[in-house]
Structures are given as structure tokens and as C-alpha cells.
Amino acid sequence: MPRRTKKVGPTGGLGPRYGATVRKRYIEVVTKMKAPQKCPQCSSKTVKRQSVGVWKCRKCGFTFTGGAYVSSTKIGTMARRAAKGIPLEAGAPKEKEEKA
């Protein structure tokens, strides 16, 4: 017997309401959120969302903050690089100090 929500996915409970575009966006967000996320400490894919922006690894017990729907965001990655002093872009030239 085939699955009943094969085409609609997580929006099966919404029915025909809210419009196609909103349901497509909802599918994207929920599938990213439910996908296995990588732990920044032990690198295993056992991270689950506790609440909005709070993630916890089921293997090592590490609790950390991230995005609302994904454990790490692009802005968070850029902030981590800037804090370490790594250039934001790989091909970006370093600024030269001017002599006065």
C-alpha cells in the first residue's frame, strides 16, 4: 500500500489551505530542520533541535545555539571565521598598511 502523503510531504495536514507557494516554503523549512545535522564538537550527525535556535547532540550531549531551522547558519560561519582572524573570502587580498 503506497504512502498517503508522498507528494505533499509534511504539508499533508494543511490540506488545500494557505496556497501553493506557502506550502512549498514550509516543505523546504521542515525538511531542512528534520534532516540530520552535524555536531560541531564530535562531528556526528546526531543533533536534534530542542527549541528555536537551541540544538543538542544526542551522542556527546553538547548543547549549542544556531539558527532557528538549521544548526549552523551562513552568518554564524562568517562570524566564527572573523573571530579567528581567517579571511572571509578565500581569494580576497589582504589590506596593505599605508606608511605616513
For the chain, the structural domain boundaries read 10-84
30-87 pLDDT per residue, tens = 988 888 999 988 989 999 999 998 999 999 999 998 888 888 888 888 888 888 887 7
> Cα separation of 6 and 3, whole Å?
6
With beta carbons less than 8 A apart as the criterion, state whether 9 and 31 touch: yes
The CATH architecture assigned to 10-84 reads: Single Sheet (2.20)
**What is the value of pTM for the model shown?**
0.66
pLDDT, greater one: 33 or 7: 33
H and E: helices and strands count for the chain: 2, 3
